[in-house]
Structure 1
Amino acid sequence: MIDERLLDDADALARGDARGALLALAGAGARVRTSLRAAEEAGLGALRPDGRPRAVLVAGHGSAATAGDVLEALCGGVCQIAVLRPGPGEDAGPEWTLPGWVGPSDLLIAVATDGEVPGLVRLVERAYARGCSLVVITPTASHLGQAALQVRALPLPYIPAVEPDERRPLYEDADLPREDPGDFWGVLTPLLGLAVRIGLLPGGPQTLHDVADRLDEAAVRCRPSAAAYDNPAKTLAVQLGTALPLLWSDGPCGTAAAARFTAMLADHAGRAALGGALPEAMAAQRGLFTGTLGAASADPDDFFRDRVDDDGGLRLHVLLLRHRPGLPEEDGTHDVTGEPPADHLPDSESAGTRRTVARARRLAADHQVALRELVSARTDQVEALAELVALTDFTAVYLGLAAERT
């Protein structure tokens, strides 16, 4: 169990955060605004698309691939979206494969925070030969940025938080690089701006400025100087201190946030988490509830069992991430600890969804497994995503810092 006092010492947190992860998360809103301004100056605002593409392919790795997953979750119902992940190449570097069906009706978006990736350069050259429309998100002066000009791609600059030569070494072993957590917003912002421009997402440029505002608000709520009892990210970190998180999601917004949280827990907290969308997650992970990780696996009638071991052992903790725009809007995400009265349920939530969520609650309750719901009530799904991602990003970093201090 994590001691809350470890998270309430802001000075110690700052000393332990050698990678500057908390500072990067605090600046996520500014990162979004800077990326938006750079994309507009690069020509995004002047883009006049001739209809939507048949399919959109996003090629990248790390934060770029995660950003592609978010785009797929949010826009997959409007247009076919595929995320291309690399495999081993002949020169020991990553290599991307272009599907055989890709042609002139499709759009390829190559994303790289570095830009010195020969595999992506070869990919855009092959896509150009097939007549694809091309967009490249990368540092302008990189090899990939220069290749974008040669293949007549729309170059959208990636803006790093700091100059590359100013970055602290993230790992002594260069084969295990860690990314700045703010890189996610650095690549997702131009992706979302492009999606709005070509009609995959509703709204306009103001939508993404509102996203930046939501990130600023979350940074204030989750700041290191806020005590754990008044800081939702620290509170969640304490709850997950000795838990195996089951990140269940309802809807595309929750699914995208769960995928991001899984990646952040692994990278910044060294913790594993299992994700899944309802209702499939209940069937796929039901066996965990009756195994050694479920609280009900210990006989509650055994008076002589060691309850100290019960408290210290690894236990399941279900975290349900949801977007419920019908709920009254409050400041940021909020918890739903029980089923609201029927007259308070939003019209946008179907009866099937309510039954599925009720089943998830019963499953957790029957096996004495903690279940917490993180809900965003924002009307816009991108703003809701920003709230959920900001809270869980801070949680992952706090969890990692507390584990190191422990």
Structure 2
Amino acid sequence: MFFDTALDDPEALGQIDGVLRDIASWGAQVRRAYGAAADALADLDAGDRPRAVVAGGPDGRLFRAVLEPICPVPFVAWPHPGLPAWAGPLDLVVVVCAEGSGIDAVSTAAEARRRGCALLVAAPEGSELHTVSDGRDAVFLPASGSNATALAVPVLSALHRLGLGPDVQPESVADALDDIAERCSPRVGVDENVAKEVALALADSTPLVWGGSVLAARAARRIAEALRSASGRPAVAGDDEQLVPLLSNAPEVDVFADPFEDGPAPLRPVLIILDDGTESPVLDVARRRLEAEAEQASVRVYPVRAAEGSQIGRFVTLLAVGRYAAAYLALGMGRPA
């Protein structure tokens, strides 16, 4: 049972006020994270290029997705403890931990110090990670808050200043998030609110989430996780090869089914397309293939478009819309957001 009236009911919306306020504060969190690191960033300039960059931890893939297309040296995401065997004094290791005490992050920084690697670390001042990483050839960015995505912005800014990545434009990222907060606000009705519209579409459906570019695909995975948690149902993120079979085998609609005699109808998929503005003939072919398969199977398609701006800005705005949709989905289903 999905209570669609809850999405525009102020009293019902009060139940998820804390979650909605947190998402709405993402823009402010980006500004705080960048402001806390501003002094350290001002001292950076492009010096000798490292042989390679190793980004540790779960956010390593995000950094790689942003930097890999233009980084002038090899960039490796390393989600495992420690470092690859080849990492040494010629390489830069990036370690980010909003809490500053993660075992893997601390061990990675300690291993980097032991091998003589240059370090770029973001963590709270005085934390275990700060202490372990302190020393020569280490750049430390003081963390503000626990939002890992917001903390990624000053890290990417540092990599830009070191001549390794694109310009991030933190204020534009924060402004784009503020705009999403306005457009997906609980005060905005279902007919004008893309997050509420997606939540309604998923009320009795299985989400299939596609993002064509590397960053959009990462956003798709995180949004699918949020939708699974919100609904207690499956939610699948994947490429066209993975999603087309799910579309082609979607349960048929039985217009004569009686829910009292036949039981609840099987959940049908809804295709959510995350569009971050990346233009590519390969992506165009994949998207047309998905849309054609969805049309053939009478599956609804909902495009979600990112705000214009830097890559990280497009990523976080897609993620924010998905998180809003998950919160509204949980509310309509009477589940904890």
TM-score class, shorter: 0.7 to 0.9
Q: How does 1:68-79 map to 2 (within 5 A)?
A: 68-79=60-71
Check if 1:148 corresponds to 2:133: yes
Check if 1:116 corresponds to 2:117: no
Q: Which amino acid aligns with 2:31?
A: R
1:393 to 314, 323, 330: 323
Check if 1:355 corresponds to 2:317: no
**Matching residue of 1:343:** none
Q: 1:11, 1:55 → 2: CA distance?
A: 54
Q: Deviations over 1:316-349 (max 9, x none)?
A: 1111112237xxxxxxxxxxxxxxxxxxxxxxx4
Q: Deviations over 1:270-318 (max 9, x none)?
A: 4542222xxxx23233332344xx143x5x6xx7444787985321111
Q: Which amino acid aligns with 1:100?
A: A
Over the aligned positions, Cα root-mean-square deviation in angstroms equals 2.7
| 8 Å Cα contact 2:89-2:118 kept in structure 1 | yes
| 8 Å Cα contact 2:270-2:300 kept in structure 1 | yes
Query: Helix, strand or coil for the counterpart of 1:404?
Result: coil
**Matching residue of 2:7:** 7
Q: 1:35 to 1:306 in 2, by over 3 A?
A: same
Query: Helix, strand or coil for the counterpart of 1:320?
Result: strand
1:56 to 49, 53, 56: 53
Q: Which moved more, 1:131-140 or 1:305-314?
A: 305-314
| 8 Å Cα contact 2:275-2:305 kept in structure 1 | yes
TM-superposed deviation, 1:373: 1.8
TM-superposed deviation, 1:223: 1.2
Q: 1:13, 1:51 → 2: CA distance?
A: 53
Q: Which amino acid aligns with 1:388?
A: L
**Matching residue of 1:100:** 85
Q: Deviations over 1:240-263 (max 9, x none)?
A: 222222211222332232133133
Stretches of structure 1 that go unaligned for 5 or more consecutive residues are 87-95, 162-182, 326-348
Q: 1:105, 1:186 → 2: CA distance?
A: 29
| 8 Å Cα contact 2:30-2:151 kept in structure 1 | no
TM-superposed deviation, 1:27: 0.9
Q: 1:199 to 1:231 in 2, by over 3 A?
A: same
**Matching residue of 1:250:** 212
1:130 to 115, 119, 132: 115
Q: 1:307 to 1:404 in 2, by over 3 A?
A: closer
TM-score with structure 1 setting the length: 0.74
| 8 Å Cα contact 1:57-1:109 kept in structure 2 | yes
Q: 1:55 to 1:9 in 2, by over 3 A?
A: farther
| 8 Å Cα contact 1:221-1:231 kept in structure 2 | yes
Taking only the aligned residue pairs, the percentage that are identical comes to: 30
Q: 1:259, 1:14 → 2: CA distance?
A: 28
**Matching residue of 2:305:** 375
TM-superposed deviation, 1:127: 1.1
Q: 1:107, 1:50 → 2: CA distance?
A: 12
Q: 1:203 to 1:123 in 2, by over 3 A?
A: closer
Q: Which amino acid aligns with 1:105?
A: L
Q: 2:286, 2:107 → 1: CA distance?
A: 45
TM-score with structure 2 setting the length: 0.87
**Matching residue of 2:79:** 85
Q: 1:398, 1:101 → 2: CA distance?
A: 47
Check if 1:209 corresponds to 2:201: no
Q: How many residues align?
A: 333
**Matching residue of 2:195:** 233
Q: 1:267, 1:307 → 2: CA distance?
A: 26
TM-superposed deviation, 1:154: 1.5
Stretches of structure 2 that go unaligned for 5 or more consecutive residues are none
